[in-house]
Chains A and B, each alone.
Chain A
Amino acid sequence: MKEEERGKIKVYGRPRLKKALPLMYCPGCHYGIITSLIAEVIEEMGIEGDTIGVSSVGCTFITTQYFDLDFIDSAHGRSPAVATGIKHAHFGKPIVFTIQGDGDLAAIGMGCIINAINRFEKITTIFLNNANYGTTGGQLAPTTLLGQKTTTTPDGRDPKTAGFPIHIAEFLSNLKGVAYSARCAVNTPANYNRAKKALKNAFQKQIDGVGYSIVEFLSACPGSWKLTASEAMKRIAEDMIPEYPLGEFKNVERII
């Protein structure tokens, strides 16, 4: 690097599209990191002027305040339908993404996302899996790990009565309309960088009109897991990733 260029390269900083507001998340929550990552990716791809975000019910609702982007929130589980309306309103031109938690996407909104994919919408869904209902205080989610204690499975999730963790990124990748599906984490710098690449891929698939794209994030929820930030990080590495392997489950150039 030449001497005169020093000081001009951004090493660290808040993404331009992330507003400087006090953090409303619990200490150690990964939502803040993921919000920054999304802002960073949209900024780097230069698509902010055409991007519209759709949030849902749950802590994803809070993310709406941080993005310097057109945004709308929606009823619980319905954001893929709302995104469909927005995308078609402007005849397919805008880049539309939904940001959804696990209760929102994997429970109440499962039918909605499956059908949005199956209609062959070109939308990107960012799915934040923290294995419980964070906002409401830590109840069982479809993604809760076996044995994991939640306020509605106080003795731990027992598959006999509460079923099994659902693997959204793999499951949805089976649908024909999906162009890209990956699962990521932000618990290490390496995983953060992989997640950034995955998000770029996902948006690119939408821009290229290939099909639906999904990026699932394993997200620490110390607030409702009732763990410290570092214990929550440990859970991501030791419990979550073994159950929910990271990686790409689908990446196709063409569907039709």
Chain B
Amino acid sequence: MIKRILTTGNEAIGHGAIYAGCRHFFGYPITPQNQCTEFFAREFPKMGGVFVQSESETASINMVYGAAAAGVRAMTSTASVGFSLMQEGISHIAMAELPCVVVNVQRGGPGMGTTQTAQMDYLQVTKGGGHGGYRNIVLAPASVQECFDFIQLAFYLADKYRNLVLALSDGIIAEMAESIELRTLEFDPLPEKDWALKGKAHKGGRRDFISCSNLLTRPTRDGLKVLGDKFHEIEANEVRYENYMTEDANFILVAYGSSARISKEAVDIARSEGFKVGLIRPITLWPFPYKPIRDLTHGKKFLVVEDGLEQMIEDVRCATEGKSEVYFLGGTARHLPGPGGMIFPDRVIEEVKKLI
């Protein structure tokens, strides 16, 4: 029997974690993801899981570092400001190659910005954020169902590549409620975590050492090769995106997360008015779907819709290689001047008509 519930994006992350077999959550409160942290505080102890409220996001991510090193599925959740605090830990996780999941529910920035929704962390999440040029796999859910599904996918990818996987939500996706199907997703078998720290007695007396440094473990060049090869493998295998009515389109919207929902509606309305508009929605922001976008460039114009200032447009320009015009519609197109408001589909269509 199909099990459906009505829930929010924030809580769907919690349900997804449970279905992924995660029982360890470490977090610190911050708006607009508090419902997510509170979900774990409420649900995990009931099922024998672990919820720890840390003193800072710096601590949360280091707890995740420890728990992941111990071989369990561990995660944390935060919002933009707190995500900045995690960069040090994330960089160390990249070096130690620890599989774990981090959720960033975006709010407006820079600085304390606003507690309300925005999409303003794109460059930070896709280009590193911390020092050292590492990569995190970034999944961008655009629905509550995807919040649920992508946490399962995130843990699978994290374990497959021994890499941090980030789910990039935003205030709209997090707080909206939709009906979702609770289902266990099937993935290929994963290797044993035979490197995990459990104490020697629990693995035949063998000692393991996990390091966030090359200094004592391997020559720097070997370390670079290990990480570089892995990042290239992910780029080759894990690009995910959705094409929506792009085949015959001469004008393509590019958007992720809540902006993709808005853009999809704009495509439907534009189509009903006879405009050949399509949408390409990057699902993995890293690895970015450069080739799928490049394949669409011939004779088309692009409009990036992103609820903030120009960020993802850099990757879209890179993908189009100067062969198409690329325009931008961002946070200044919101219907309200204050911290709230959003970019409505009508506003997207207005822009499309101006540019087409």
Q: Which residues of A contact B (CB under 8 A)?
A: 48-52, 54, 61-62, 64-65, 67-75, 78, 81-91, 94-95, 111-112, 115, 119
B58 contact set on A, CB distance < 8 A = 78, 81, 112
Q: How far is the CA of A27 from the CA of B299 in the complex (A)?
A: 71
Q: Does chain A have a CB within 8 A of B56?
A: yes
B235 within 8 A of A: no
**Residues from chain B with Cβ under 8 Å of A73 in the complex:** 210-213
| Contact assessment for A94 and B199 in the assembled complex, using a CB-CB cutoff below 8 Å | yes
List B contacts of A115 (CB < 8 A).
54-56, 59
Whether, in the assembled complex, B2 has its beta carbon less than 8 Å from a beta carbon of chain A, the answer is: no
Q: Which chain B residues lie closer than 8 Å to A54 at the CB level?
A: 66
Known: A50-B199, A75-B92, A115-B54. A83 touches B66 (CB 8 A): yes
Cα distance, A236 to B14, chains bound together (Å): 53
Interface of A is mostly: mixed
Inter-chain contacts of A61 with B (CB < 8 A): 213, 215-216
Q: Is the CB of A84 within 8 A of B89?
A: no
Chain A residues closer than 8 Å to B66, beta-carbon distance:
54, 72, 74, 81-87, 89
Interface-central residue, A51, A68, A83, A84, by most chain B CB under 10 Å = A84
Query: In the docked arrangement, what's the CA distance between A115 and B63, Å?
Result: 12
* Contacting residue for A88 out of B63, B88, B197, CB 8 A: B63
Chain B residues, CB < 8 A from A78: 58-59, 62, 65, 89
- Tell me the minimal C-beta distance from A221 to chain B in angstroms: 20
Residue in chain B with minimal CB distance to A88:
B50
Closest Cβ of chain A to B73, distance in Å, is: 10
Q: List 14 A-B contacts (CB under 8 A).
A: A62-B216, A70-B198, A70-B200, A72-B66, A75-B65, A78-B62, A82-B66, A85-B63, A85-B67, A85-B69, A87-B66, A88-B24, A89-B24, A115-B54
The answer to whether B24 touches A75, judged by C-beta atoms less than 8 angstroms apart, is no
> A31 to chain B: closest CB distance in Å?
15
Shortest distance in angstroms between A71's beta carbon and chain B's nearest beta carbon? 5
Contacts of B68 in A (CB 8 A): 85
- In the complex, which residues of chain B have a beta carbon less than 8 angstroms from the beta carbon of A49? 199-202, 205
Most B Cβ at <10 Å: residue of A52, A81, A90, A112: A81
Asked, given contacts A72-B210, A74-B65, whether A88 binds B52 with beta carbons under 8 Å apart, the answer is: yes
Given A61-B215, A69-B200, A74-B92: A89 in contact with B72 (beta carbons within 8 A)? yes
Bound-state Cα–Cα, A143 to B205, Å = 38
Within 8 Å by CB of A81, from B54, B69, B71, B208, lies: B54
Contact, CB under 8 Å: A85 / B74: yes
- Closest Cβ of chain A to B111, distance in Å, is 21
Instruction: State A87–B210 Cα separation when bound (angstroms).
Output: 16
**Residues of chain B within 8 A of A90, CB atoms compared:** 70, 72, 198-199
**Across the interface, do A81 and B207 meet the contact criterion of CB distance under 8 Å?**
no
**19 other A-B residue contacts (CB within 8 Å) besides A72-B66, A82-B65:** A49-B205, A50-B201, A50-B202, A54-B66, A64-B216, A68-B207, A70-B200, A71-B197, A72-B69, A78-B65, A82-B66, A84-B63, A84-B66, A85-B68, A89-B67, A90-B70, A94-B70, A95-B199, A111-B55
Known A75-B92, A84-B66, A111-B56; contact A89-B74, beta-carbon cutoff 8 A: yes
Contacts of B62 in A (CB 8 A): 74-75, 78, 81-82, 85, 112
Q: Tell whether, in the assembled complex, residue B199 and residue A70 are in contact, meaning their CB atoms are under 8 Å apart.
A: yes
B167 close to chain A: CB less than 8 A: no
